[in-house]
Amino acid sequence: MAVSILHRATGVALTFAGLGLLTWWLVALSTGPEAYETFTTAAKHPLGIVVLVGLTWSFFQHLLSGIRHLIMDSGQGFELGVNKTLAILTVVGSVLLTFALWFTLLGVAK
Amino acid sequence: MTRGDSASPLGQVRGLGSAHHGGEHWLTERVTSIALLLLGVWLIASLLLLPSLDQRTVVEWLRAPSGAVPMALLIIIGFRHALDGIKVVVDDYVHEEGNRFFWNTLLLFLAVGGAALALFALARIAFGAAA
C-alpha cells in the first residue's frame, strides 16, 4: 500500500520538478554561461540541494517500485511475504542508491 | 455494460478502463518505463563520468551524437511517460467529465510545450548555436 502510493507521489514529483528542472537546465545550457551560472547557483543553494536529493531519491524509488510493478504485472510476487519483502527492498534500495550517488557527487567517498 | 461473446479478444478490451482507452495506454506506459530505466541510468552515469559539470564541458558532451541522441530520446519518452502517468492520476481523482477533459487537455499542452522547449534547447546546443 505505502509503496504503491509512493510510486504515484514520486511520479508526480518527477513530472513537475524533474522534467521542469531538466528543461530549465537545458535552456540555461543553451543560453550561455551566465544563464547556466544562475542555474548552478540555485542548484548549490541548500534548498536546491534538498530538492535535488529529493528528486534523485524519487527517481530511484520510482524506478525500483516500477520494476516491482512490472514483476507483479507478470503475475508473480503476490504472496504476502514475497510482496512485502519486495516493497521494503524498493525503499532500502532507493535510499542506498541516493546515498551512493551523492557521496560520489560530493566526493565524500572516493 | 456487457459485450457480446462474439467480440474478438481485442474487441473485448478496446475502450475499457476508467480512461476508456482499453489496454493501449497501459502497455505504452510500461514500454516507455523500460526505455526510461535505460535512459535514466545513462543520464546519471554520464553526468558522473563527466570531468566537470561546468557549462563548456556539458555543452561539449551534448554536441556529440552519443550525448544528443539519448538526451532527445529521454526528453520525448520522459514527457510521454509523465503525461501517461499523470493522466492515470487525473482519471482516478477527477470524476466529472468536463473537469477531467480540462485537466487532461491542460496537462497535454504543458507536456507538449515542455518537450518542445527542451528539444529546442537541445537542438541549439547540438547544432552549435549555444554560446
Q: What is the pLDDT of residue B130?
A: 57
pLDDT at A85 over 80: yes
Q: Chain A: nearest CA to B77, how far in angstroms?
A: 11
pLDDT greater at residue A106 or residue B6: A106
- State residue A78's pLDDT score: 84
Confidence band, pLDDT 50/70/90 cuts, at residue B128: confident
Nearest CA in chain B to A107: B48
Burial of B20 (0-12, 13-18, 19+ CB in 10 A): exposed
Pair B121, A23: CB distance under 8 Å? yes
Non-local CB neighbours of A62 within 8 Å, separated by 6+ positions: A7, A10, A11, A14
For chain B, the first-to-last Cα distance in angstroms comes to 60
Tell if the CB–CB gap between B130 and A30 is shorter than 8 Å.
Answer: yes
For the segment A17-70, what is each residue's pLDDT rounded down to a tens digit?
Answer: 999 999 999 999 999 999 999 999 999 999 999 999 999 999 999 999 999 999
Report in angstroms the alpha-carbon separations of A104 from A17, A110, B49: 23, 7, 11
Please give the domain boundaries of chain A with CATH numbers for all domains: 2-105 (1.20.1300.10)
Q: Could you tell me which CATH number the domain at B9-126 has?
A: 1.20.1300.10
**pLDDT-wise least confident of A40-49, A79-88, B15-24:** B15-24
Confidence of residue B111 (pLDDT cuts 50, 70, 90): very high
Q: Provide the residue ranges of all domains of chain B, joining segments of one domain with +.
A: 9-126
Predicted confidence (pLDDT) per residue in B36-92, tens digit: 999 999 999 999 999 999 999 999 999 999 999 999 999 999 999 999 999 999 999
pLDDT band, residue B23 (cuts 50/70/90) = confident
* CA–CA separation, A7 and B86 (whole Å): 12
Could you tell me the pLDDT band of residue B32, with boundaries at 50, 70 and 90?
A: very high
pLDDT over threshold 60, residue B1: no
Residue B90: what pLDDT? 95
Those of residues 19-38 in A touching chain B at CB distance below 8 A are 19-20, 22-23, 26-27, 29-33, 36-37
Q: Locate B28 and state its grid cell.
A: 505504452
Pick from A105, A82, A92, A107: which is nearest to A60 by CA? A92
C-alpha span between A96 and A94 (Å, rounded): 6
* Chain B closest-CA separation from residue A28 CA (Å): 8
Quick check: A98 pLDDT over 50? Answer: yes
Kindly determine whether residue B130 and residue A31, on different chains, have CB atoms separated by under 8 Å.
yes
Task: Quote the pLDDT of residue B2.
Answer: 53
